[in-house]
Amino acid sequence: MHRTPKVMEERELWVLRNVGFEIAKGESVAFVGPNGTGKSTSLKLISGILFPDTGTIEVNGRIGALLELGAGFHVDLTGRENIYLNGSVLGLSRSQIDKKIDAIIEFSELEKFIDIPVKHYSSGMYMRLGFSIAVHTNPDILLVDEVLAVGDATFQRKCVERIGQLKQQGVTILFVSHDVTAIRRICDRAIWMEKGKILADSGTENVIQRYLWHTFNNHQQIGKSNNQNRWGSGEVEITGVIFLDADGQPQTNFYPGQPFTVQINYRASQKIEKPIFGLAIHRSDGIHLTGPNTKFSGLQIDAIQGEGSVQYSVEKMPLLEGVYYVSVAVTDWTDTEMYDYHDKMYPFYILSSNGERYGMMTLLGEWHVQT
């Protein structure tokens, strides 16, 4: 699949090239990789929205697809009318749609809005209606492309549960998502794509581990060459940040439940009284997870001058698998003057363990059974 942009110097840009795979009936397969690598294009080719310039695609079975918000909807028709429109496109007769329409509307939770034109719908309402139609038209193959992310958390869980039910019924699932937790829950196989090519096609856990590790290494290289995320007056300079394991050795890979220490090295060009050292941990999608500092902990550092270091230690790492970024800072006691701030410049990686797998963190609790 390629496009020829209309530019002064024509050149070919292949979205997909020399890509081939087979998906058996009843398989649940995730497509992972960064944006712009051909994941969505693959699903559009399979659904028949796009056609390949070369090669062949063979699909056996009725397809239910949720690929783009509003795709297949007529904006001037009501939600109810669009159910009939989409159903007919998918090959259902009017009598067949009549039997399903109440279930479609109920699942979408759009009863109050089903008879108004969809041009007045929000993106979340489009997703609700589109997904409900796709899963209620007896698909043999269900294609879902990232659009679940626009829904609220409760409806997202409802959709994932519904996909799981279809999987148990033998429906073939093709799922594009950046949600690793959802991929693990739904899919038994994953295809990792980069720059229009397949880099890995194997069991879900194997592919996810390889993809996350690749992403982590790339981010490390970017962080080393990027000094734009740093600012401050300079009276105190943060000269380095090191992650340490239980033995005090530098490490960037940890497991949930392991000891974890952040060491912040500094240099003060003059005597600085009562400085505050702090850090923040961000998940790879930018979510701010925590932000401890010495003042919050009741630690007052009387003064610093010259070189030194401070450490923040966690007895048992509570975070689950993923890539995380640490920001570090040193300020004055009133927190009004920033001496030095490094924004998300230091990545570390939490590896998968045999324990908990879903969510962002573990409570490190214990189970007890009484009989």
3-state secondary structure 192-210: EEECCEEEEEEEHHHHHHH
Q: Measured in whole angstroms, how far is the alpha carbon of residue 25 from the centre of its chain? A: 27
Instruction: In whole angstroms, give the CA distance from residue 38 to residue 40.
Output: 6
Q: Are the C-beta atoms of residues 241 and 265 closer than 8 Å to each other?
A: yes
Helix-strand-coil split of the chain, %, nearest 5:
25, 30, 40
Which pLDDT score, from 0 to 100, does residue 256 have? Answer: 92
- Residue 144's beta-bridge partner residues? 66, 175
Q: Are the C-beta atoms of residues 123 and 148 closer than 8 Å to each other?
A: no
Q: Are the C-beta atoms of residues 132 and 108 closer than 8 Å to each other?
A: yes
Q: Are the C-beta atoms of residues 300 and 274 closer than 8 Å to each other?
A: yes
Instruction: In whole angstroms, give the CA distance from residue 120 to residue 47.
Output: 27
Taking only Cα atoms into account, the Rg of the chain, rounded to an integer number of angstroms, comes to: 26
Which pLDDT score, from 0 to 100, does residue 340 have? Answer: 95
Is this prediction's pTM over 0.85?
A: no
Q: What is the pLDDT along the chain (371 residues), one digit of tens a residue?
A: 555 555 545 667 788 888 899 999 999 999 998 888 888 889 989 988 888 888 899 999 988 888 776 667 898 999 999 999 988 887 788 999 999 999 999 999 999 999 999 999 988 898 889 889 888 888 899 998 877 766 677 888 888 888 889 999 999 999 998 777 788 888 999 999 988 899 999 998 888 878 877 776 665 555 554 556 889 999 999 999 999 999 999 998 899 999 999 999 999 999 999 999 999 999 877 789 999 999 999 999 999 999 999 999 999 999 988 889 999 999 999 888 999 999 988 989 888 777 777 778 888 888 899 98
| Two tokens, residue 371 | 């009989």
Cβ neighbours for 30, distance < 8 A, ≥ 6 positions apart: 175, 176, 177, 183, 186, 187, 189, 190, 191, 204, 207
Which pLDDT score, from 0 to 100, does residue 234 have? Answer: 92
What domains are defined for the chain? 10-217 (3.40.50.300), 228-350 (2.70.50.60)
Instruction: Choose among 223, 355, 222, 341: nearest CA to 275.
Output: 341
Instruction: Choose among 132, 166, 169: nearest CA to 147.
Output: 132
Q: Are the C-beta atoms of residues 293 and 276 closer than 8 Å to each other?
A: yes
Which pLDDT score, from 0 to 100, does residue 238 have? Answer: 96
Which pLDDT score, from 0 to 100, does residue 2 have? Answer: 56
Which pLDDT score, from 0 to 100, does residue 364 have? Answer: 83
